[in-house]
Amino acid sequence: MRDLSPFRRYELIFIVSLVVIYVVRRLVEEVSRLDGLIGLGASGNGIPAGTFWRILDGRYDHTLNNNVPLITGAILVLAAWYVFHNLAYPTLQQRIDDQRGWLLIGLTMLLLLMGTFVYHYLKHHVRYQYDGADNIIGLRVEWLYRKRTVLADAIGFAVLLSAYELAFQYYQFLTRRIGPESETHFRLVSFLLLGGVTVLAFTFSLNGYLPPTLWRGELRMALIRLSIGVQILLLQQYVYGYILPALKTARSEEPILLNRIGLFLLVVLLTTTVLWGAATSFYFRPSSSIIQWSLAVVIGSVVIAFGRQARNREKTVLETKVSVQSAELSSLRAQINPHFLFNALNSLYATALKENSEKTADGIQKLGDMMRFMLQENNRDRIPLDKEIEYLRNYIDIQRIRIDERHDIDIRVTIQEPERPIYLAPMLLTPFVENAFKHGISLRQPSWIFITLTLDDTQLYFKVHNSRHLKPPEDRPDRHDPEAGNSGVGLANVSKRLELIYPGRHQLVIQQSEQDYFVALTLVYWQ
């Protein structure tokens, strides 16, 4: 993945520069505004400018009531952004239950509360004072500090930080997806995105204004829309990761599903209520907006989660097809020219019967049946279980023929025949048996292979337990086999196919020691 550390370094410089430019501009403008108020009021009403200054004397200190709150508030909000962006979110991204990450989230909110408190508590706003005829008679000082205003603005800044973080994560996603594929496209997308954001950010820092309280004017509607978007993008992850998987097993885990849905709806209602309270400075009035807001979040979260599931399902289907085709290609390569070999086996089978070599004829017939399976059944998505069992038995019988009966080798096979049609993906069982024969048989030491297949109404249980020997190639019964080093479709391929074809419907346990190797597969073939 592309290294983003230089970007993160310049990002910090960029954000700090924006804040400094905005703060300096506001400090300069506030001085000009105050001089303008006094000069305009004096010239338009015949009141000496000194009168205005005397009115402010003792009631307004420009350094304490303007410069200090603006600078301190900006520093604290900037510190909150740094803690959230560089410490809290990366920690929770690795482990959502990390205690340190949640402590850092708490520190972020504390910094935001401190920043908004200092600003509103110390900040005083100078305005004209009018008489009954709307004539300017002096100046008045407004103090907008309210506890609920401090809390509302802290929540507003938290929404802005969350929106920034989601935008940054989207940029990282584009970096991972586009960067490795095309350097030209990545540079173009980066230029358009980062260039556009840079222009907008600097334009705001040079010309924009934050209102005296965040949830006011046009910014109020922008924050409401951002709040809805942040809620949807965060909560859809919960729907996708916890509710949709539970829907697949709703019959067996219905209480879990209901609990997760209930928790989701409760979180939506609580977060919406808090955000709506911030939008109204916690002056709650009877309104249907909370219900409408909550419905929008629920619908948006569910729609996005289902869209992700559909997209991943299509991706899984494509990966499964690629995996199956890869397995088929490996099988075809091993067969060399299957039709030629199949005809040759028929000829050898007829010759063995004429020469009364029944054991040889039986082995040739079983090998022919296996090749017929590879040609006719192995390229299907699903095959009858009895076909897989027949192939498995033929493979085991051929291996018995190849093993010298004088050696101490114990092979036990217990297979329960299905009583009704059962279908599953092909070549899911045999690779484990192949592995057992390739690595579990020794001609010098006692060896054993135990194979068990049982069924119930919904699940298949397949176990292969074999001895394990660390031995040189000359001690193997298949030492003359050119495919001895090839594990067929391979255990890794089978494990991947199980994840793709039976997600959440299988359990594969592999245990090994220096003496033995054990595989247990539990597969839900019907649900």
> Is the CB of residue 458 less than 8 Å from the CB of residue 420?
no
> Is the CB of residue 477 less than 8 Å from the CB of residue 466?
no
> Is the CB of residue 433 less than 8 Å from the CB of residue 395?
yes
- Joined together, the tokens standing for residue 297 give 């979040």
CA 370 to chain centre: 42
Reported residue count of the chain is 527
Looking at the DSSP assignment, which residues form a beta bridge with residue 314?
none
> Is the CB of residue 412 less than 8 Å from the CB of residue 464?
no
Please determine, looking at this structure, whether the domain spanning 403-527 carries the CATH number 3.30.565.10: yes
- 25: nearest Cα among 205, 211, 156: 205
Buried b (16+ CB within 10 A) or exposed e, 226-240: bbbbbbbbebbebbb
Residue 25: Cβ-neighbour burial (10 angstroms; 0-12, 13-18, 19+): middle
> Is the CB of residue 481 less than 8 Å from the CB of residue 448?
no
- Give the model's pLDDT for residue 313: 78
pLDDT in tens, the chain (527 residues): 455 556 677 888 899 999 999 999 999 998 888 877 776 655 555 666 666 667 677 788 889 989 999 999 999 999 999 999 999 998 988 887 788 989 999 999 999 999 999 999 999 888 877 777 777 777 778 888 899 999 999 999 999 999 999 888 888 887 777 665 566 666 777 777 788 888 988 898 998 888 888 888 888 899 999 999 999 999 998 898 888 887 776 555 667 888 889 999 999 999 999 998 898 888 766 567 888 899 999 999 999 999 888 888 777 777 777 666 666 555 544 544 454 455 555 555 666 666 666 666 666 776 667 666 666 655 667 888 988 898 888 888 877 876 766 678 889 999 998 888 888 888 888 889 888 888 888 878 889 999 999 998 889 999 999 998 765 555 544 454 444 444 444 677 788 888 888 888 899 999 998 889 999 999 988 64
- Give the model's pLDDT for residue 361: 67
- Give the model's pLDDT for residue 51: 65
Task: Give how far Cα 200 sits from Cα of 33, 193, 214, 226, Å.
Answer: 25, 11, 19, 17
- Give the model's pLDDT for residue 304: 92
Read off the pTM: 0.60
Q: How far apart are CA 321 and CA 330, in angstroms?
A: 14
The domain spans of the chain are 1-214, 216-331, 403-527
